[in-house]
Amino acid sequence: QVQLVQSGAEVKKPGASVRVSCQASGYTFSGSFIHWVRQAPGQGLEWMGWIIPYSGATNYAQKFKGSVSMTRDTSISTAYMELTSLRSDDTATYYCARESVYDGTNFDFWGQGTLVTVSS
């Protein structure tokens, strides 16, 4: 069965960086886009961007250009999201999600989420 397993919670100071991992299993990792979505406490979902595991190509939401980097290691079926220059309003749960096999842009499997807390 398809699974996306993310790394554990992180606590960071303002100005630091954080890297979250997302290990895929149960399907061909290279065959589907991986998207990253975050959710601040009590708030809605916010799309951050995607990576194509096959090629490493990326596309970031305008808001995150310059502060986010998405990479992957196909040898271990893992995608990474690194966010730099952290601020308190980056405190959120970060999810990776697989772009589905269905028509359109939607996400059929999600990781369990990684809580990133930014606090001095």
Partner 1 sequence: QSALTQPPSASGSPGQSVTISCTGTSSDIGNYNSVSWYQQHPGKAPKLIIYEVTKRPSGVPDRFSGSKSGNTASLTVSGLQGDDEAYYHCSSYAGSQNVVFGGGTKLTVL
Residues that bind partner 1 (CB under 8 A): 35, 37, 43-47, 50, 59, 61-62, 95, 97, 100, 102-108, 110-113
Query: Based on CB atoms, which residue is closest to partner 1, 104 or 120?
Result: 104
Query: Based on CB atoms, which residue is closest to partner 1, 13 or 41?
Result: 41
At closest approach, how far in Å is the CB of 90 from partner 1? 17
Query: Based on CB atoms, which residue is closest to partner 1, 62 or 120?
Result: 62
At closest approach, how far in Å is the CB of 100 from partner 1? 7
Distance, in Å, from the CA atom of 26 to the CA atom of 78, rounded to the nearest integer, reads 13
Distance, in Å, from the CA atom of 109 to the CA atom of 91, rounded to the nearest integer, reads 23
Residue 8 per-residue DSSP state: P
Residue pair 34/50 in contact (Cβ under 8 Å)? The answer is yes
Residue pair 36/84 in contact (Cβ under 8 Å)? The answer is no
At closest approach, how far in Å is the CB of 81 from partner 1? 15
At closest approach, how far in Å is the CB of 109 from partner 1? 9
Identify the CA nearest to 94 among candidates 105, 82, 77. 82
Query: Based on CB atoms, which residue is closest to partner 1, 17 or 59?
Result: 59
Residue pair 40/113 in contact (Cβ under 8 Å)? The answer is no
